[in-house]
Chain A
């Protein structure tokens, strides 16, 4: 299921920990889909002098965080910002398809930490942290309600596996086939698609 490289980073993650005197902190994810990552950075001039992370999540999430920390350490801020979730997955020798959405968030967490540092440096109030509480995602589907295939994060309006187009229930946020009269999750009536 996982590449040797993923297993190596899972078993021996690099740069795990907390920087108590961090210049920037970034957090992404929530426990609903399974993964939560916190990145800490120490900046020297224009370079990431140190990068540490903590991750709650599956093997992929831990390996991704470890790889991001390794890729970012010693880099300039611009270079670190150029790291993408895709480039991390590639560096790890690929990730299972269904892990690309929920687990592959390491680069996002790093970028959040850099943004947090820059906000502080510019004297701006740090942007409000996205709420990482589970309720944030309550009712929001990570998977197709008909075939249970994981949905891609963008849009969540269509299941590639069973070719169903969804409508979001205004009452519970669950997904139902477009055009159906009632929500299959909570039974609330759905407006006809215009």
Chain B
């Protein structure tokens, strides 16, 4: 059976060049970067070279990059560390309604400590209006956090305009760029952000290699107290192989970004156009114009996401969904609900995200196997029967 991998938002394969760069640090180069001897120095040099590569990917300076173990940790570090670092000035935070759970739950944790927060709504395409962010600011606000792109609907947010609205009020701006970094150009100077989260496992680096950019001079409290690693802002012995892998993946992403984008966009657009043409009652979710180059997302009406994923997997196709049933919590996607979709429609959420190795034959394969799957599940669905009855009368 032909295997078609369309779940880049869950994981990307490690590039062979990344694996090769990491290999020595899983072998003979096992030193601790904090050691004075040559084994330690070799590891330290590798970590600092990776810091340069990650900084270059987002237009930052190397000392402004702090390595973390995941995008989730970077987001926790940013939200909690920045909010607590500024709490003498105020205790109000502004975030969008469609942030990743690592941002939303960090905010909830701060609310339990007496902080207040405002959730800014999004429009039907999942886009945050910078004017809404400006309206949400109060004299107590110290931090705004809006994601650079949403992994569930692919929409790229107007971060520069949001930062421009917040900066004159003396408010720090963080962006969760885990879904965007390595796939679209990001420059912390042009965006005007004070902090930015990214994770290498979204652009062909290893799991466990992620980072937070914090602008020089911005006060942030550590999340992990410990030794002097990462300038005393993130304790714990460095995960050298993962950091090296992240660095190499960042260097390759910066070099190949335009070529990758140019190859992916036609495939993405074919999916976005063909799927609603071949299947009735399919909505494209997210923005058509400001969209991640690898991302095609839909709601398939009258059927549920997990049932589609299981059926696709039986045909060798890997995808993902924001339906309640695919989340362990059994809650419909907060992103789709915030965009104004009803629960039943949100249950039909499906995301196809392309890795760079994907070709038109992968899209062809999907377009061939998917319509019969939807047809089979609709014939089982009481919602579809109801719809046919209404249409018939």
Contact between chains at B383 and A31 (CB < 8 Å): yes
How many A-B contacts are there with CB distance less than 8 Å?
A: 107
Indicate whether A143 sits within 8 Å of B330 (C-beta atoms), given known contacts A34-B323, A59-B306, A59-B307: yes
A113 to B60, CA, bound (A): 65
Q: Does B328 contact A (CB under 8 A)?
A: yes
A74 within 8 A of B: no
Q: In the complex where A33-B330, A98-B330, A149-B329 touch, is A58 in contact with B304 (Cβ < 8 A)?
A: yes
Q: Which A residues lie within 8 Å of B101 (CB)?
A: 148
B385 at the binding interface (Cβ < 8 Å): yes
Residues of A within 8 A of B324 (CB): 32-34, 102, 142
Chain B residues whose C-beta falls within 8 Å of the C-beta of A61 in the assembled complex: 304, 307, 325
Report A135-178 CB contacts with B as 1/0, cut-off 8 Å.
Answer: 00000001111101110000000000000000000000000000
Q: For residues 90 through 108 of chain A, which have their beta carbon under 8 Å from a beta carbon of chain B?
A: 98-99, 101-103
Q: Of A8-16, A41-49, A79-87, A122-130, which binds chain B?
A: A8-16
How large, as a class, is the contact surface on chain A? 35 or more
Alpha-carbon distance A150/B329, docked complex (angstroms):
5
Smallest CB-CB separation from B323: which chain A residue? A34
Chain A CB within 8 A of B89 CB: no
Assembly CA distance A54 to B302 (angstroms): 12
B382 touching A55, Cβ below 8 Å: yes
Binds A, one of B3-11, B177-185, B283-291, B340-348: B340-348
A54-B304 contact given A59-B310, A102-B330, A143-B330, CB 8 Å threshold = no
Task: Assign chain B's interface to a size class.
Answer: 20 to 34
Question: A18: CB under 8 A from chain B?
Answer: yes
- B259 to chain A: closest CB distance in Å? 38
Query: Which residues on A sit within 8 Å (CB–CB) of B314?
Result: 11
Using a CB-CB cutoff of 8 Å, which residues 1-32 of chain A contact chain B? 2, 7, 10-11, 13, 16, 18, 27, 30-32
**Which of chain A's residues have a CB closer than 8 A to the CB of B108?**
145-146, 184
Q: Tell whether, in the assembled complex, residue B343 and residue A54 are in contact, meaning their CB atoms are under 8 Å apart.
A: no
Give the shortest distance, in Å, between B305 (CB) and chain A (any CB).
8
Point out the residues of chain B lying under 8 angstroms from A16, CB to CB.
379-380
Q: Report chain B residues within 8 Å CB of A31.
A: 342-344, 347, 383
Question: Do B385 and A35 touch across chains, with their CB atoms under 8 A apart?
Answer: no
Indicate if the CB atoms of B325 and A54 lie closer than 8 Å.
no
Query: With an 8 A cutoff between CB atoms, is B255 at the interface?
Result: no
Residues of A within 8 A of B384 (CB): 56
Expressed in whole angstroms, the minimum distance between the Cβ of B294 and any Cβ of chain A is: 26
* Contacting pair B382 A27 (CB below 8 A): yes
Which single member of B111, B310, B327, B383 contacts A36 (CB below 8 Å)? B383
Q: Does B237 contact A (CB under 8 A)?
A: no
Q: Looking at the assembled complex, report how far the CB atom of A166 sits from the nearest CB atom of chain B, in whole angstroms.
A: 14
Max chain A Cβ within 10 angstroms of own Cβ: one of B302, B324, B344, B383:
B324
* Contact yes or no, B330 A56, CB < 8 A: no
Asked whether B332 is an interface residue with its Cβ less than 8 Å from the other chain, the reply is yes
What is B's interface to A at a CB cutoff of 8 Å?
Answer: 101, 108, 111-112, 302-307, 310, 314, 323-332, 342-344, 347, 379-385
Closest 6 CB pairs of A and B: A58-B325, A31-B344, A143-B329, A58-B306, A148-B329, A54-B382
